[in-house]
Chain A
Amino acid sequence: MRAVAAGSVEAVAVIDLVDEPLDLESRAWLADLRATGAAHDAAVARLHALLLRAARFETARRRPTLPHLRGDELDDIALEAADDALVSVLRRLDDFRGASRFTTWAYKFALLEAAVKLRKRAWQAREVPLEPESWQLFAGGTAPDEAAARSELVSAVRIAVATELTPHQHRVLVALALNGVPIDVLADRLGTTRGALYKTLHDARRRLRAALAESGLDLEEMG
């Protein structure tokens, strides 16, 4: 069907996605959503209910991390996410090729919409820190030799972060990886996309790894 690797941040083996035979339930979903009149309207209503269930699942999962949001605010976010996901699913209906169940494919749109809205809501009134705030979290290992090795690595990482990156890479890496700013929030503030930001983060990480390897540091344990 398509070579998914085209938009990858790094070359991976080309994935050959062939059209899969649709299961009966997925085939019924597509037929109903492509119908006209009352059958179409009923299918859209069922799809919206499915997406709202997924969005509420996401808001419920994240509720403990969002104590300042009331239940009705969370439900408003879920409803908005389901509405937006419905538009996305209907617009992309022809992209569904049966690689998964239709419901699994549709769920991911609602979960994405809900997750992005919740992250943005959590950071709504917060300043996005673009300078390192968290170097002090590197406290070193427990054993003395481990602590010394870790200290050397952390020191080399600090130097590499300060010297190897472009200003934009530095800003993005620090915000995302060091200060824990959600990627959607940073993309919003910088007027860019999540995909573009991750590409910048990926390139910055590659430069750091290359610099550390040149310094003779063993990064094996870092995966």
Chain B
Amino acid sequence: MKDDKKLHALLGPAGPEVGCDDCFELLDRYVEAELAGGDADALLPGVRAHLAGCPACREEHESLRALVAESF
């Protein structure tokens, strides 16, 4: 719903999160953990919350996941 998206964009994730730089550092490991069926959020806390709050990192996560999935 558009309203919820706008409110979420304003208020961001509730829990602790990493910043953009740490998200980038962890993204390759996070994606491989996801594709392997592991609990990526438990392995790398704060990444999922950041992806929920940062559209740019979220786009890059989606792209890396899609690209790696082709050969995983």
Chain A residues engaging chain B, CB cutoff 8 angstroms: 4-5, 7-13, 15, 17, 54, 57-58, 61, 99-101, 103-105, 107-108, 111-112, 115, 119, 134, 137-141, 150, 153-154, 157, 161, 173, 176-178, 182-184, 194-195, 198-199, 201-202, 205, 208-209, 212, 219, 222-223
Contacts and interface: CB of A to CB of B under 8 A. Distances in A.
6 contacts: A15-B26, A100-B29, A107-B28, A108-B64, A115-B59, A161-B10
A115 B10 contact: no
Interface residues of B, number: 44
A112 B54 CA distance: 14
Most buried by A among B22, B28, B59, B71: B28
Given A4-B18, A153-B7, A195-B20, A105 B60 contact: no
A8 B46 contact: yes
Contacts of B32: 100-101, 104
Given A111-B60, A115-B60, 12 more contacts: A4-B26, A5-B18, A8-B16, A8-B46, A9-B19, A12-B45, A15-B45, A61-B66, A100-B31, A108-B64, A119-B56, A222-B7
Given A107-B68, A137-B6, A12 B56 contact: no
